[in-house]
Each structure stands twice: as structure tokens, then as C-alpha cells.
């Protein structure tokens, strides 16, 4: 992936080295989707924080800790610059897409943390994987997750790493469009299986939005190199609910899916990156995913 020398976003705060946010503080009780995913795979890869659903349903949420960005030196410098550059790409791309449709894009803040941090959706930690909190409009990531991608998923491609960020920003786009509010209201009147099925549509749309970002950013910046798209598709395959459940518990439970199968995640990401058109990402209107 070609990215060196391009603009870096200023909407990044680095909280590493500042202690973290304590325990996994989501209100002392577990309900719905987060409980299922934590029980199955120990973390929620590439999605909304497990605490998001709990706090939206209960009206809770811890205040965001505002801390000054940290200056980092050493081997993580290049990775931090990469994250800042990818976020800048998302800002440029979604600003243009929103403008084309008569809207104004308000970018999220990306918070880099280690171990744990407080968020508007409760206390998040590394085990939750990268996540987006609609309450404070922040994307949260512990860069150690990229090590997990290499070790568990055998995926180290930079475009696959960019896909992680683009997916979370896709949730931010959904939030700005009012999709997440509508989904959360509907989810409250559903049983667990129905709520899970709706969550799948949310996640697959974020995958599609990530694909749209890849298409449009490549048109503007020519970032893609040979093998980049394949690396992102491999990452999408690796984090399908069916694949993760099969690896973690040996059986697949479709009613508990919250992010979609490997095939579905690949299909919707590919739909976005092939078309570059957000109108192709209507997972809620699709009869088949």
C-alpha cells in the first residue's frame, strides 16, 4: 500500500503511557450481543464496542477521559504515522462523498490506547478489539491488535490494517446518517436472535463502506499495490462469525452471529470496493446477504 508522505490527520489522540481506564466497566451486568461475543471468542473484532450496546440499552456510559496527546518515539512511530495517514484518507474520501450527496462530513477522533481506556460507551480494553463509540464519536484502537492480526490471522498487509480503521469509520458514517439510532431503537423491541440478525446488517454495511472508501481513495491517491485487495479480503474471511466460532468452540451457531459469515463479509466489502458507491451498501434492504 502506498501511503508514505501523504497528509496525516490531526484528529488523533495518543493515550499510551497514561495508565489506562481500569476494569471492564460496563454497568455490572451483561445483556444481549456483547455477552455472546465475549463468551464465544473473548473479543469483538472489527465492530462496535460490546459496551456500546449495553450502554445504549441501559442509558449508561462513562465520561470520556480527555488527555493530551503523547509524543511517541521508537519503533511504533511508523505505525502511528500510518494510522494518522489512513484516517486522513477517510476524512478526505467521506468529506467528498457527503458533499456529493449534499451533506457535511464531521470526522471522528481516533484514540490510540493500550490495555484499557474510558470512553463514552464505558471502559474499553484491548481484548474488545478496535471499536467505535457513537456516544463520543471516537474510534478506539490498541495498535497491539495489528500484532494479533499477524499472529492469529497471518495477515500483515497494510491495506488489511487500513481496512480495520475504515470499517470503524464506516460505523461513524452510519452514526452521522442516523442509521445507528434507528437500529438501536428497533433492537430494543427484538428478541436476541432478531437483534443479532440486525447487528449483522450493521456490520456488513460497515464492511461495504470500507470497500467504498478503498475504491474512492485509490482513485484519488493511487494507494493500492498488487495483493492489497487480496489481503483485505483475507482479513474479512478470517473474522467471519462462522470462522471464529469454528476455531474457538468447534461448532457454528448461526443465531448468535453478529457480524456475518466470512463469505458475507467478503461479498459486501467487495461490493463496496468494486463499485465505490454508497448506494450499493444497502444491507438493510437486501433480501439476501
**Mind listing the pLDDT tens digit for each residue in 166-217?**
999 999 999 999 999 999 999 889 998 899 889 999 999 999 999 999 999 9
- Which pLDDT tens digit goes with each residue over 41-58? 333 344 444 333 333 333
d(C-alpha 44, C-alpha 244), whole Å = 10
**Percent of the chain's residues with pLDDT above 70:** 74
Phi, psi of 28 (to 5 degrees): 80, 0
In the numeric block, which cell numbers belong to residue 62?
Answer: 462513562
Phi, psi of 48 (to 5 degrees): -70, 145
pTM over 0.75: yes
CA angle 40, 43, 47 (to 5 degrees): 110
Amino acid at each position: 500500500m502506498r501511503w508514505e508522505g501523504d497528509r496525516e490527520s490531526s484528529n488523533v489522540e495518543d493515550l499510551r503511557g497514561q495508565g489506562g481506564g481500569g476494569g471492564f466497566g460496563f454497568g455490572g451486568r451483561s445483556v444481549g450481543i456483547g455477552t455472546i461475543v465475549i463468551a464465544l471468542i473473548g473479543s469483538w473484532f472489527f465492530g462496535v464496542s460490546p459496551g456500546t450496546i449495553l450502554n445504549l440499552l441501559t442509558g449508561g456510559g462513562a465520561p470520556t477521559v480527555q488527555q493530551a496527546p503523547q509524543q511517541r518515539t521508537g519503533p511504533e512511530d511508523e505505525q502511528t504515522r500510518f494510522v494518522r495517514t489512513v484516517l486522513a484518507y477517510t476524512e478526505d474520501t467521506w468529506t467528498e462523498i457527503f458533499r456529493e450527496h449534499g451533506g457535511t462530513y464531521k470526522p471522528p477522533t481516533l484514540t490510540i490506547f493500550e490495555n484499557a481506556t474510558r470512553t463514552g460507551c464505558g471502559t474499553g480494553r484491548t481484548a474488545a478489539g478496535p471499536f467505535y463509540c457513537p456516544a463520543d464519536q471516537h474510534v478506539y484502537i490498541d495498535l497491539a491488535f495489528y500484532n494479533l492480526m499477524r499472529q492469529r490471522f497471518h495477515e500483515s498487509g497494510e491495506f488489511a490494517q487500513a481496512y480495520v480503521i475504515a470499517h470503524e469509520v464506516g460505523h461513524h458514517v452510519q452514526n452521522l446518517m442516523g442509521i445507528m439510532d434507528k437500529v438501536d431503537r428497533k433492537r430494543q423491541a427484538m428478541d436476541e436472535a432478531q437483534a443479532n440478525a440486525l447487528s449483522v446488517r450493521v456490520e456488513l454495511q460497515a464492511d461495504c463502506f470500507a470497500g467504498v472508501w478503498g475504491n474512492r481513495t485509490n482513485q484519488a491517491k493511487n494507494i493500492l499495490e498488487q495483493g492489497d485487495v487480496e489481503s483485505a479480503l483475507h482479513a474479512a474471511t478470517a473474522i467471519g462469525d462462522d470462522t471464529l466460532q469454528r476455531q474457538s468452540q468447534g461448532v457454528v451457531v448461526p443465531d448468535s452471529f453478529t457480524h456475518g459469515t466470512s463469505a458475507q463479509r467478503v461479498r459486501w466489502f467487495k461490493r463496496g470496493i468494486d463499485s465505490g458507491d454508497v448506494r450499493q451498501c444497502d444491507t438493510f434492504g437486501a433480501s439476501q446477504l
